[in-house]
Amino acid sequence: MIIAVASGKGGTGKTTVTAALAANWKTPVAAVDLDVEEPNLHLFLHPSITGTEKGYIEIPEADERMCTSCGACAELCQFKAIALIGDTLLTFPEMCHGCGGCIAVCPTGALTESSRELGELCHGTSGDIAFHMGRLRIGEAMCPPLMKLVKNEVFSSYENDSRDVILDSPPGASCPAICAVADADCVVLVTEPTPFGFYDFKIAYEAFSVFNKPTGVVVNKAGIGDMQVYAFCEEHNIPIWAEIPYDRGIAEAYSMGSVITEAVPSLKPVFEELTRSIQESVHA
Ligand code: SF4
Ligand code: SF4
C-alpha cells in the first residue's frame, strides 16, 4: 500500500503526521521524503543513512557539424529546452525534462545523450522503518525528475515484499505534489482549520480529487480558526480521519525534532485510528 501525505501549503504539519504515522505503523513500512526541495522528515525520524548516490537526468548534447537545421527537435520540445534561431541550434539544459524525444526524432544523429545532475538520493533506516529521501541540487529548478528517481528506487526495493510506503509529499497542488500523489493508493490531506488553511486545502482537494483515490483529512491544530474545513468536508463527503489538537506539548515536540506520539503519548490512539481508517479506505 502506498500512502501520500499531502497538504495544500507548507507548515501545516504534513511531515509531523508522516513521521508519527510511520512510527506507529504496525507492519513493515518505508517512510519516503519526496519534498526534495526542502526535505525535513529525517529531522524527526533521525535515520542512519546507509547509502547516498547522485541522481541524473538525461539531456541532449548537440553536435553542430551533424545538424542540418531541420527544426524537428525544436518543434517537438514542449518545454522550449531546444530551439533553432535561424540556422543556430540552442539548448537550454536547465529547462530539459529528459524525455529523450528530441534525440529520437533527430534524423541525422546530431543529438546524443548527456546528463545533468539533479541532486542526491539517500536511504537508510530509523529503527524498523526503512527511510528514503531525495535532496535537490542547489540551483536545480525541477523537482519531479528527482522525485521520480526516488520513487523508482523505493518501488523497485519493495515490489516483492509487503512493506507499505508512506510518501511525505511536497506542499502545494502543482506538479511536484501531483507527482507524489499520482502513484498513491490513498491520500491523507493535512490542513489547519483557518481561513488560509481552508483556501489551500480546497485547491489541493480539487487538484488531487481528479485521481479519484480514497482521501481523508487530518485536521492539525484542531480547535483554532473556524469550521470552514469541516463544513466543506461534510458537503463533499470527505472523511475527517484524525484531529490533532492545538497543544503546547506538540509544538515543543515539533521544535525539538521529536515524533509527536513519543512526546505526547495521548496522541497514539489518534494515529492508531488514522492507520485503521487508511487501511479500511484502501481495502474497501
Ligand atoms: S529531452 Fe525532451 S525536454 Fe529535453 S530538450 Fe529534448 S525534447 Fe525537450
Ligand atoms: S532534429 Fe537534429 S538535425 Fe534537426 S535541428 Fe534538431 S539537432 Fe539539428
Return the CA Rg of the chain: 21
Q: What is the pLDDT of residue 229?
A: 93
CB of 17 closer than 6 angstroms to any ligand 2 atom: no
- What per-residue confidence (pLDDT) applies to 249? 85
Q: Give the pLDDT confidence score for residue 145 in this predicted structure.
A: 93
Q: Buried (b) or exposed (e) across 101-136, using 16+ Cβ within 10 A?
A: bbbeebeeebbeebebebbbbbbbebeebbbbbbbb
**Whole-structure pTM over 0.75, yes or no?**
yes
Q: Report CA torsion sign: 181, 280, 33, 195.
A: positive
Question: Which one of 59, 111, 114 would you pick to mutate in the ligand 2 pocket, going by the greatest count of ligand atoms within 8 A of its CB?
Answer: 111
Cα maximum dimension of the chain: 70
Beta bridge partners of 126: 129
Cβ pair 192, 220 in contact under 8 A: yes
Low-confidence ranges of the chain (pLDDT < 70): none
| Distance, first Cα to last Cα, the chain | 13
| Chain center to CA of 239 | 22
Query: 77 in ligand 1 pocket by Cβ < 6 Å?
Result: yes
Give residue 29's pLDDT: 97
C-beta 73 within 6 A of ligand 2:
yes
Cell of 78: 514542449
7-42 residues labelled b (16+ CB within 10 A) or e (exposed): bbbeebbbbbbbbbbbbbbeeebbbbbbbbbebebb
For ligand 2, atom 4, which residue shows the shortest CA distance?
70
